[in-house]
């Protein structure tokens, strides 16, 4: 239990640090790193057992957005009542991570099923976040499904690629940790 709590805290701290760097674009003048928020919620759901991690990660994202908008001079265009659609969108990623951990585990054989689950959740998350913004923000007075579909095809691919990049790095880190862990006699047999 103590070991899981330490792991939860360490992973949460790592995800929070990466979100801080990628969401605030602190190092954008050197290199542009894609946003890790979608992968972070999936990974937190997959690995972290503490239920408070979800609201803590959401509040961190919200705080980052407030700071970026307030102090960095970014536009507040996306800050509308529709912002709260990020809650179910991030929740879809979190729950997909939870589901994957319980249903498939963390074996190499489970990787296709885990990635497939993550992709389904990513589509749902994008529909919730972008659809929520498009239809509920008040920024598009003549909102229609026909008007939304081109936005989905424009904004989904970058979200997909950034999530796949960060998930791939997490898979590589997981594999490296698994290789470096000492095995017991029972595991060798």
List, for residues 119-130, the tens digit of each pLDDT value.
999 999 999 999
Residue 147 lies in a domain: yes
Q: How many domains in the chain?
A: 1
For residue 93, the tally of other CB atoms under 10 A from its CB is: 26
pLDDT digits (tens, 9 = 90+) for 106-156: 888 999 999 999 999 999 999 999 999 999 888 888 999 999 999 999 999
- The mean pLDDT value of the chain amounts to 87
Residue 32 lies in a domain: yes
Percent of the chain with pLDDT over 70: 87
Residue 181 lies in a domain: no
pLDDT-derived band at 76 (thresholds 50, 70, 90) equals low
Residue 94 lies in a domain: yes
Residue 75 lies in a domain: yes
Residue 26 lies in a domain: yes
Expressed as residue numbers, the domain containing 116 is 2-173
Angle (CA) 104 94 111, round 5°: 30
pLDDT-derived band at 11 (thresholds 50, 70, 90) equals very high
Residue 146 lies in a domain: yes
pTM of the predicted structure, to 2 decimals: 0.88
Neighbouring residues of 36: CB distance < 8 A, sequence distance ≥ 6:
15, 18, 19, 22, 23, 162, 166
Q: Decide: 62 and 87 in contact? Cβ < 8 Å.
A: no
Residue 189 lies in a domain: no
């Amino acid at each position: 239990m103590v070991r899981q709590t330490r792991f939860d805290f360490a992973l949460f701290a790592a995800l929070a640090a990466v979100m801080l760097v990628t969401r605030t674009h602190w190092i954008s003048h050197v290199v542009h790193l894609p946003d890790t928020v979608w992968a972070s919620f999936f990974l937190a759901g997959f690995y972290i057992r503490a239920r408070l991690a979800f609201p803590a990660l959401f509040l961190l994202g919200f705080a980052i957005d407030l700071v970026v908008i307030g102090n960095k001079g970014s536009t507040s265009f996306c800050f509308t009542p529709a912002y709260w659609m990020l809650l179910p969108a991030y929740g879809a990623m979190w729950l997909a991570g939870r589901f994957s951990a319980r249903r498939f585990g963390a074996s190499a054989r489970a990787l296709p099923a885990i990635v497939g689950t993550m992709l389904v959740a990513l589509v749902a998350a994008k529909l919730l976040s972008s659809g929520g913004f498009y239809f509920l923000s008040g920024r598009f007075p003549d909102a229609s499904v026909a008007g939304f579909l081109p936005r989905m095809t424009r904004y989904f691919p970058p979200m997909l690629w950034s999530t796949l990049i960060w998930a791939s790095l997490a898979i590589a880190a997981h594999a490296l940790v698994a290789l470096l862990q000492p095995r017991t006699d029972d595991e060798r047999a």
